[in-house]
Amino acid sequence: MPGPYPGRAVRVHAEKSIDPGTGKVDLGTVRQMLSAGMRALTGDARDEDAWARFLTPKDVVGIKVNCSGAPRIRSSPEVVGAIVERVLAVGVPAENIWIYERFQNQLVTVPYRDFVPQAVHIHAAEADRGSVLGYDPKVYVEANFFGEEDTRSNLMRIVSQTLTKIINVPNMKEHQASGVTGCLKNIAYGDFSNVARSHRNEKTNTYSFIGTLASVEPVRSKVVLGVMDGLAGVWHAGPFSNNARFRFYPKELMIGTDPVAMDHQLIEIIEAKRKAEGAISIFNQSREILGDNRDPNKNAYIREAGHVEYASKLGLGVYDAAKIQVKRIEL
């Protein structure tokens, strides 16, 4: 990260990609969106050439999904299935593809198996919630936020030891602590253990911790592509999706290699939706906003939406809106 296309984001919208009434995703449309987005990002005329820029047949490919809002809002199995099709087309064997997430209890609620070959691994780091066994004891970030005894956040073992490339597939969601949860948070808090300790009461340390984790090697080098699933999203009380009122349907895939540029676009999407709903900005850090977040003008935490800009200072991508090139495609 930020890869070969810093400051670039491709946003593909397709009205018929999802039926908000039923939640049913049109797989054929998703395939078209992915194809159009990848070709626009790379400038290649053929999908094969576009994908071959990022992967080789010898790679072991991880697909980092996001299931924290599952079962309602998650990296759609149709989107993940379409990505797996393209990875297979590059020549990567199915057994060298890993769909992964931290928590087994969330992962199992999403039917990825129905959309990928049997040989594709579907892997969670924590079959037992809180277990350290799925994490690499040698790769960690150590920080003491609130006097917690366990001051380490360890990287998932498959990321450090097995995968050679990672495709990051976050959702379009507001986040109660970090403002938004997109590419950066999905690859940071989604790949490391023991991260919830960074929030306590209304205080959250996501401002610097997200970028710090995302910049750890080998995470930073292995993440080669982001495909943000915005078919459905959450504009308030994320990353969970317990309240239907706070779901929305951008009907969009965003594609790029720069997580900062993509997350800056996500901020704009979430802010626009919140404004349309009459909700306060995610950048409002007044203590007056603290309260029961069933009210979209209240929140449990002082949000740290500045974490995206902070990540740019670590060299993870381009935050300056004037320097971000956005390509919009309508299908």
Partner 1 sequence: MILLALAAAIPGIFWDAPPDTAPALKEAGIRRILVPAGQAAGWKQVEGIAAEVADPAKAVKLRTPAVNYRFEQASASRVPWIDCNGWRFLRQPDSRYFYDATGALAAMAAAEALAWGADAMIKTDPAGLKPLAEMLTFGEGLERAGMQPLADFGFIDDGSSIAGEVMNLLVRHSLLFRVVRRPDPNLKLTVQLGSKNYPLEQAKNPGAMAQMVRADLTDGRRSLRIYGSAVVVGRLETAAGRLRVHLINYDGAARKVSGLRVRVSGEFPKHRLALAGLPDAELMDYEVLTGATEFTLPELRTYAVVDLQK
Residues lying near partner 1 in the complex (CB under 8 A) are found at: 128, 130-133, 137-138, 144, 147-152, 194, 200-201
Q: H/E element holding 34?
A: helix 27-42
CB of 126 to partner 1, least distance (A): 8
Task: Decide whether 28 or 137 has the Cβ nearer to partner 1.
Answer: 137
CB of 229 to partner 1, least distance (A): 31
Task: Decide whether 201 or 221 has the Cβ nearer to partner 1.
Answer: 201
Q: Cβ of 58: how many Cβ atoms within 10 Å?
A: 10
* 126 Rama sector, left if φ>0, alpha if ψ -120 to 50, beta otherwise: beta
CB of 242 to partner 1, least distance (A): 19
Task: Decide whether 200 or 327 has the Cβ nearer to partner 1.
Answer: 200
Q: Cβ of 94: how many Cβ atoms within 10 Å?
A: 14
CB of 240 to partner 1, least distance (A): 18
CB of 175 to partner 1, least distance (A): 19
109 phi/psi in degrees, rounded to 5: -85, -5
Strand duo 223-234 + 203-204: pairing: unpaired
Task: Decide whether 197 or 236 has the Cβ nearer to partner 1.
Answer: 197
Task: Decide whether 194 or 281 has the Cβ nearer to partner 1.
Answer: 194
CB of 133 to partner 1, least distance (A): 4
Task: Decide whether 44 or 136 has the Cβ nearer to partner 1.
Answer: 136
Radius of gyration of the chain (CA): 18
> Measured on CA atoms in the order 137, 169, 27, 77, is the torsion positive or negative?
positive
- Ordered DSSP codes for 251-317: -EEEEES-HHHHHHHHHHHHHHHHHHTTPPPTT---GGGBS-TTSTT-BSS---TTHHHHHHHTTS-
Task: Decide whether 135 or 310 has the Cβ nearer to partner 1.
Answer: 135
Task: Decide whether 76 or 153 has the Cβ nearer to partner 1.
Answer: 153
CB of 181 to partner 1, least distance (A): 21
CB of 282 to partner 1, least distance (A): 25
- Ordered DSSP codes for 151-216: -EEEEEHIIIII-SEEEE--EEEEETTTEEESHHHHHHTTTBSS-GGGEETTEE-HHHHHHHHHTS
Asked if 267 and 282 count as a contact pair (C-beta separation under 8 A), the reply is yes
Asked if 18 and 79 count as a contact pair (C-beta separation under 8 A), the reply is no
